[in-house]
Chain A
Amino acid sequence: MIVAVILGLLPVLGQTGTKKAGNVAGPDVIAIDLSKEMASNEMKPVKFFHAKHNQAVEGRCEQCHVRDKETLVFKFKRTDQPPTKELYHENCISCHAEKKAAGRESGPLAAECRSCHGALAEPPDTAWTKIPFSKSLHYIHESSEFIVSTAKGQTDNCSACHHNANEKSRQIYYTKGEESACVYCHKETKTQDVRSIRDASHDSCVACHEKLGSKKIKAGPVTCYGCHDVREQAKIEVVKTVPRLKRNQPDVALMTGLSSSGKNPKYLMNPVAFNHVGHETRAESCKVCHHESLKKCSDCHTPAGDVKGDFIRLEQAMHSVQSGQSCVGCHNQKTTASDCAGCHAMMPSTNLLDTSCAVCHNTPDNQVVADEKMKPVLAQKMVSSRAKTHETIDAEKIPEIVQISILADEYKPSEFPHRKVVQAITKRIEKSELANAFHKDQQALCMGCHHNSPRSMEPPRCASCHGKTSDAASGRPGLKAAYHGQCITCHQEMGIKEVLATDCIKCHAKK
């Protein structure tokens, strides 16, 4: 009977345990897992609280980490050697014992195996967050007077962090103008020759922070929380206007695809004059587009597809709607911003308008440019000639009030402040270069509501297409649903003050 009661309670206790989802470990929890190093694996990994130990040793990293030359090795009590059970047991337990003997709070001692082991069934669910090394953060390092170049004759400090590697001699060296993002080589997990991004950044960043910090120089964080806690990340200074990165990148590029052969070869699709410098200021970092290396897109993504580019063709790499790295994909993601979503949320994301192609593929001439030097010149010419703003329509030409009376029965006709709405939408996006590039003229904005019909100052009436009831065969909403659908969805998406769902008289006066 008692056993039954206990058994009955068990699942309940288990549930309450797991339901405390909010109780996530801090970003400092490290799993000490020697399963790869040890043949037999009797004990579960250890859940190690780094911040707690850091506090216990009063910030003296050498208590656990070996000091090698001027930097610390971020491995426990060793340099390159593989970790062993004995290493951990001897050092951890002896330190705990010392603390206990000194009458201080201490960790588990010998024969208290499960106090350390077994608290962890799987990798801990921590609040650990990757720290984005943004342009601002890059600039803070780039402009620091304390970070100095190790190579001789350098006017900047790039070589302090950036390096290349010679695969044969297994030496690292620095070449000016070949700096790249760390993750291009240092992947999530270590490869045969290259450290993981975790080890590489701890070895370089934290060690440098520690070194500078010990000289009483203001340096970056050395604790787990300092970099990997969201609240701490928010405290990091942000430089608003970051000077352009110096890596000899082009201002513009003429993007071309396949061309015809023969005497007078032509590009099969009009080339794109790509404003590289313009995109640099918009993107968070180079990695947004250059996801694997800083090479040209077409080096890997060839028009026909190649193993280098994972068989993703140039056309797909530029136009994939789903990918955040492609032009169209990234532009499409931008339309979810509240300024844009009022119209774009109701537009099918899959079908691109016929007019969209020419927005980018806008070179007037598709003659093949044989001279590589001429390409940027041509592209520059195209980019500079682009209008930065869109053409506006005279306010008087926009109907001021549109009375929607066709459905009025219970309420008075709705007085729709048409001009006010048009102008409000225009104002929300007038500063967006992307919007101005794609909308060109204000009439494009009309298409947000007056959709599926050719551009016109006198668009067809809503009732021309939307019948009394919704049409099941086409899925086309009825007139009432169409009106409410557009108004309410736009208000919701653009974050306009919510109206109670039953507050009909807000728009329709009572009869």
Chain B
Amino acid sequence: MAISRRKFLGSIGAAAVGGVTGALGKAYGASNKHFKGYPDSYGVLHDVTKCIGCRKCEDACNVVNALPKPEKSFEDLSVLEEKRRTDAGVYTVVNQFDVEGKKVFAKKQCNHCLEPACASACFVKAFTKTKQGAVVYNEKLCVGCRYCMVACPFEVPAYEYDDALTPSVTKCTMCYPLILEGKLPGCVEACPKGALIFGKRDDLIKAAWQRIYKYPDQYTAHVYGEHEMGGTSWLYLSGVSFSDVGMREDLGIKSAPELTAGPLAAVPIIVGLWPVLLTGVYAITKRKEKIAEQEKESAVARTLEQAQEDTAQKLEKLKAKMTQEKTSAINFEVKKALEEAAKKAEEEAGAQTEADASEEENASDESMKEDE
């Protein structure tokens, strides 16, 4: 039996509402907490005003991560002429911006979000936000879907397109292995100008704001990364507007998971609910059919039984009637016979007595009536 269109849509609606309300309740309804990252996690403060564009950080990154050597050496500052982005073999780039006739340099790499978009988009959990602050990637788990590249609001993860057999996603690791050894990330170690400071994220935010308070004329009163996309471990200070140094100012302060939690949380519920729902719909339909069948059978049986009963009753009635008729006929015959017999006896007695003649007349009248 087919499901009607109305039924089908109705059931989808029911499932969706159930799923979404379930998810909302979980993500927002229960608390007003804002995830502020792992306590005592590390970060890096990049003070754009201090950067002189020497590319020592790029050089150090290349060495520490054993990346392929670029065509132009790191000493060659002509590469700053064009805007660059991170690539499979380049985890960090320094770009040059011309802001009101002044050269401003800004370094770009993975910002190590507190709640990374890449990790939330990855369905095999190839990305992990470590408690040290670094967002690290596990190529053994990666299936190469590159959802992380689409998800990242900072356009950081790159892919080894030229590796035909075992391509993986690449990005800055905040030099996680070095951090575990208690060392500084390569770029921070190499920066001659103190444009990069490594430390506890909470300390860095305080230090950043302290600089803004101390030098109000030199800084834009905003610490980029303190709240952007729910906060990032990499923080920025600038003397010009952040959009002037190629950083997005339209991201908002909600983390990617927070933005997508509702709809995404509904997905497993809807996906999980489908078999149950369809099986249920099927079962209900099946059961209905079965019940109908049973009802039909019992109805037929009942009708049959009734018919039989009726016939039997009729038969019985007929039988009874016939018996009655029979008995009444017998009785009549008996009575008649008895009367005849009695008449006969009377006739015989009259003949014998003096009033025999009158009795003979009465008797003949009666027999005549009987004949009529």
A residues bordering B, Cβ < 8 Å? Answer: 345, 348-351, 469-475, 477-478, 480-482, 484-485, 488, 500-502
Kindly state whether residue B335 has any CB partner on chain A within 8 Å: no
Please, which residue of chain B has its CB at the minimum distance from the CB of A492? B52
Establish whether residues A350 and B203, one from each chain, have CB atoms under 8 Å apart when the complex forms: no
Kindly state whether residue B81 has any CB partner on chain A within 8 Å: no
Residues of B within 8 A of A469 (CB): 184, 188-189, 198
Establish whether residues B52 and A475, one from each chain, have CB atoms under 8 Å apart when the complex forms: no
Whether A474 contacts B207 in the complex (CB less than 8 A), given A348-B214, A350-B216, comes out as: yes
Interchain nearest-CB distance for A160 vs B (Å): 43
Establish whether residues A480 and B192, one from each chain, have CB atoms under 8 Å apart when the complex forms: yes
Please, which residue of chain B has its CB at the minimum distance from the CB of A474? B207
B residues bordering A, Cβ < 8 Å? Answer: 45, 50, 52-55, 74-75, 77, 184, 188-189, 191-195, 197-200, 203-204, 206-208, 210-211, 213-218
Establish whether residues B203 and A473, one from each chain, have CB atoms under 8 Å apart when the complex forms: yes
Whether A473 contacts B214 in the complex (CB less than 8 A), given A481-B192, A485-B50, comes out as: no
Please, which residue of chain A has its CB at the minimum distance from the CB of B184? A469
Residues of B within 8 A of A488 (CB): 52, 193
Establish whether residues B54 and A502, one from each chain, have CB atoms under 8 Å apart when the complex forms: yes
Residues of A within 8 A of B184 (CB): 469
Establish whether residues A475 and B211, one from each chain, have CB atoms under 8 Å apart when the complex forms: yes
Interchain nearest-CB distance for B204 vs A (Å): 5
Establish whether residues B193 and A484, one from each chain, have CB atoms under 8 Å apart when the complex forms: yes
Report Cα–Cα, A488/B77, bound state, in Å: 18
Establish whether residues A478 and B194, one from each chain, have CB atoms under 8 Å apart when the complex forms: yes
Residues of B within 8 A of A500 (CB): 77
Establish whether residues B200 and A481, one from each chain, have CB atoms under 8 Å apart when the complex forms: no
Interchain nearest-CB distance for A112 vs B (Å): 42
Interchain nearest-CB distance for B316 vs A (Å): 91
Interchain nearest-CB distance for A335 vs B (Å): 10
Establish whether residues A472 and B203, one from each chain, have CB atoms under 8 Å apart when the complex forms: yes
Q: Which secondary structure dominates chain A's binding surface?
A: loop
A-B CB contact pairs (8 Å), 29 listed? A345-B218, A348-B214, A349-B216, A349-B217, A350-B216, A469-B198, A470-B194, A471-B199, A472-B204, A472-B207, A473-B200, A473-B203, A473-B206, A473-B207, A475-B207, A475-B210, A477-B194, A478-B194, A481-B50, A481-B191, A481-B194, A485-B50, A501-B54, A501-B55, A501-B77, A502-B55, A502-B74, A502-B75, A502-B77
Establish whether residues B198 and A472, one from each chain, have CB atoms under 8 Å apart when the complex forms: yes
Interface centre among A345, A469, A480, A502 (most CB of B within 10 A): A502
Partner among B75, B188, B191, B215 whose Cβ is within 8 Å of the Cβ of A348: B215
Establish whether residues B193 and A485, one from each chain, have CB atoms under 8 Å apart when the complex forms: yes
Interchain nearest-CB distance for B155 vs A (Å): 24
Report Cα–Cα, A472/B203, bound state, in Å: 6
Please, which residue of chain A has its CB at the minimum distance from the CB of B210? A475
Report Cα–Cα, A502/B52, bound state, in Å: 9
Please, which residue of chain A has its CB at the minimum distance from the CB of B73? A502
Please, which residue of chain A has its CB at the minimum distance from the CB of B200? A472
Partner among A350, A478, A480, A501 whose Cβ is within 8 Å of the Cβ of B52: A501
Whether A484 contacts B194 in the complex (CB less than 8 A), given A349-B217, A501-B52, comes out as: yes
Please, which residue of chain A has its CB at the minimum distance from the CB of B44? A472
Establish whether residues B194 and A501, one from each chain, have CB atoms under 8 Å apart when the complex forms: no
Please, which residue of chain B has its CB at the minimum distance from the CB of A322? B216
Report Cα–Cα, A475/B200, bound state, in Å: 11
9 more contacts with CB within 8 A, not counting A350-B216, A472-B199, A472-B200, are A350-B214, A469-B189, A472-B45, A472-B198, A473-B200, A477-B194, A481-B193, A485-B50, A485-B193
Interchain nearest-CB distance for B177 vs A (Å): 18
Report Cα–Cα, A478/B50, bound state, in Å: 13
Residues of B within 8 A of A473 (CB): 199-200, 203, 206-207
Residues of A within 8 A of B218 (CB): 345
Residues of A within 8 A of B204 (CB): 472
Report Cα–Cα, A472/B46, bound state, in Å: 12
Residues of B within 8 A of A478 (CB): 194
Interchain nearest-CB distance for B133 vs A (Å): 12
Interchain nearest-CB distance for A267 vs B (Å): 32
Interchain nearest-CB distance for A481 vs B (Å): 2
Residues of B within 8 A of A350 (CB): 213-214, 216
Residues of A within 8 A of B200 (CB): 472-473
Report Cα–Cα, A501/B94, bound state, in Å: 13
Interface centre among B77, B194, B217 (most CB of A within 10 A): B194
Residues of A within 8 A of B192 (CB): 480-481, 484
Interface centre among B54, B184, B189, B213 (most CB of A within 10 A): B54
Interchain nearest-CB distance for B37 vs A (Å): 15
Residues of B within 8 A of A470 (CB): 194, 197-199
Establish whether residues B216 and A501, one from each chain, have CB atoms under 8 Å apart when the complex forms: no
Residues of A within 8 A of B191 (CB): 481
Please, which residue of chain B has its CB at the minimum distance from the CB of A502? B75
Report Cα–Cα, A481/B192, bound state, in Å: 5
Report Cα–Cα, A502/B203, bound state, in Å: 31
Please, which residue of chain A has its CB at the minimum distance from the CB of B209? A475
Report Cα–Cα, A480/B75, bound state, in Å: 20
Report Cα–Cα, A189/B38, bound state, in Å: 57
Please, which residue of chain A has its CB at the minimum distance from the CB of B199? A472
Interchain nearest-CB distance for A477 vs B (Å): 4
Residues of A within 8 A of B193 (CB): 481, 484-485, 488
Interchain nearest-CB distance for B150 vs A (Å): 27
Interface centre among B191, B193, B214, B216 (most CB of A within 10 A): B193
Report Cα–Cα, A473/B208, bound state, in Å: 10
Residues of A within 8 A of B54 (CB): 501-502
Give me the 9 closest cross-chain CB pairs, A-B, nearest first.
Answer: A472-B199, A481-B194, A475-B207, A348-B214, A477-B194, A501-B54, A472-B203, A470-B197, A473-B203
Report Cα–Cα, A478/B53, bound state, in Å: 19
Report Cα–Cα, A484/B52, bound state, in Å: 10
Residues of B within 8 A of A475 (CB): 197, 206-208, 210-211
Residues of B within 8 A of A482 (CB): 194
Report Cα–Cα, A477/B77, bound state, in Å: 25
Residues of A within 8 A of B52 (CB): 488, 501
Interchain nearest-CB distance for A106 vs B (Å): 43
Report Cα–Cα, A64/B189, bound state, in Å: 73
Please, which residue of chain B has its CB at the minimum distance from the CB of A501? B54
Interchain nearest-CB distance for A257 vs B (Å): 27
Residues of B within 8 A of A472 (CB): 45, 197-200, 203-204, 207
Interchain nearest-CB distance for B54 vs A (Å): 4
Please, which residue of chain B has its CB at the minimum distance from the CB of A483? B192
Please, which residue of chain B has its CB at the minimum distance from the CB of A478? B194
Report Cα–Cα, A38/B53, bound state, in Å: 59
Report Cα–Cα, A140/B266, bound state, in Å: 80
Report Cα–Cα, A211/B296, bound state, in Å: 118
Residues of B within 8 A of A345 (CB): 218
Partner among A349, A481, A501 whose Cβ is within 8 Å of the Cβ of B215: A349
Residues of B within 8 A of A349 (CB): 214-217
Report Cα–Cα, A470/B197, bound state, in Å: 6
Residues of A within 8 A of B198 (CB): 469-470, 472
